[in-house]
Amino acid sequence: MKITIIGTGYVGLVTGACFAEMGNHITCIDIDKVKIDKLKKGIIPIYERGLQKMVNQNIEHGNLFFDTVATDAINQSELVFIAVGTPMGEDGSADLQHVIAVAKEIGQSMDKDMMVVNKSTVPVGTAKIVQDEIETVLKQRGVAFKVEVISNPEFLKEGVAVADFMQPDRVVVGAKSEEAFDIMRRLYKPFMAKNDRFIAMDTASSEMTKYAANAMLATKISFINEVANICEAVGADVNEVRRGIGSDSRIGYSFIYPGAGYGGSCFPKDVQALIKTAQDHQYTPHILEAVEKVNKKQKEVLGAKINRYFDGNLIGKTIALWGLAFKPDTDDMRDASSITLVKYLVNQGAKVVAYDPEAIEVAQEYYFKNLEGITYVTDKYEALQGADAMVLVTEWKEFRSPDFNDIKTKLSNPVIFDGRNQYDAIELVKKGFTYFQIGVG
């Protein structure tokens, strides 16, 4: 199947590579010429496990192409995917300017009937907005091509996005016609060889499904963090509480890990966008507002613990930071708890020495650009040399079983603040560490 994907960000690039992997002819379009030139050479702008290899192989096999001009690709394709960003606006709503711009470009370019698939995360009702925009341009051109806009939200987890796409737990498609459902079933059939996980619905429900899914997961995270804070206050251990409640099959263990708050490109933006959508329809989403409030406060927990330990005086202290990305197996730092923590420590007069396997470059070039008080190292143990404390922020695999004897030797003060509750408290105390977790009284 010939497919055009407009937008080569996280979603567009993964989608394009995975469709190409199944033998489809994919052209990915982006207005960023520098990015496209690099992609043609197999240089990808993000870190995602398995993606580099997949992109390179499909370029070599003649299944995956990149361009800055969309017209020819659009008119040679059976489907055109919109996969551009929908950043959060100042009022918390999803900014649809890029989606609308692509819709207008499709309307200006198409010379036949077209099916357009919206892969971007968008508010309920966007499929109609995109259809109206395309039809307006077609009317202005004086042509009467038919267009149907299909909703096909992504449910990819950063770090394992390629695996998620290749073996999806569900494929949600919102459309009006059986023709649209049929072509989407054909497209996704190779990904569902063992079980049919195709879920057909109307476009509004499809758009809502994406927001509801992310809001539910964010709710679980904020809930366990709220419980963790109560545990700390009353002298309980949230790790034991988690085991106790997670064993209930109605609750389960997924997404009830206490920590320093959620981040990334999806949960913060999507929760706020759903809040704004509800408010725009005269409904107050009390639970979602609480989820967001708890998460914002949770990002301050580690800094507060460190400040208390040092009796409110962090001036001149050196803090070794393990992890900058919002989660392991990605270089994404959008809304990461490390951002709140680093800026807090530096503002309090501390020096931060940071290590992350993938996110150092993006931290230097964007999130902490020109920030004095932070330095970076390329080895996790190097960050510890002479530091007054170590802080674990991101649960990368290489942090799970470190050499605690080496850690103790390198730290000037054997204290660890664990923002992900990764280590055995009894073991560390026996080794002579002062050890702090989230939610342990």
Residue that the structure tokens 């990334």 belong to: 264
With a CB cutoff of 8 Å and minimum separation 6, the contacts of 247 are none
Q: Six-digit token pair at 320?
A: 């070794």
> Active site residue: 18, 28, 231, 266, which one?
266
Measured distance CA(425)–CA(421) in Å, rounded: 9
DSSP code string of 11-43: HHHHHHHHHHHTT-EEEEE-S-HHHHHHHHTT-
Indicate the helix (H) or strand (E) that contains 74: helix 71-75
Q: To the nearest 5 percent, what fractions of the chain are helix, strand and coil?
A: 45, 15, 40
Strands 351-355 and 171-174, by their bridges, are unpaired
Q: For the chain, how big is the Rg over CA atoms in Å?
A: 24
Q: Six-digit token pair at 148?
A: 């149907």
Tell me whether residue 231 is one of the annotated catalytic residues. Answer: no
* Residue 414 CA: distances (Å) to CA of 196, 215, 318, 392, 428: 53, 39, 13, 14, 10
Question: What's the 3-state SS for 326-373?
Answer: CCCCECCCCCCHHHHHHHHHHHCCCEEEEECCCCHHHHHHHHCCCCCC
The angle, 0 to 180 degrees and rounded to 10, between the axes of the packed helices 203-234 and 238-246 is 140
With a CB cutoff of 8 Å and minimum separation 6, the contacts of 116 are 79, 80, 81, 82, 103, 106, 130, 131, 134, 147, 148, 149, 150
Which candidate, 92, 90, 70, 93, places its Cα nearest to that of 80? 70
Q: Six-digit token pair at 348?
A: 């309090």
User: Count H helices, E strands: the chain?
Assistant: 17, 14
Q: Length of the chain in residues, anyone?
A: 441
Long-range contacts of 22-25 (CB under 8 A, 24+ apart): 22/190, 22/191, 23/63, 23/190, 24/63, 24/187, 25/1, 25/63, 25/65
Catalytic residues: 266
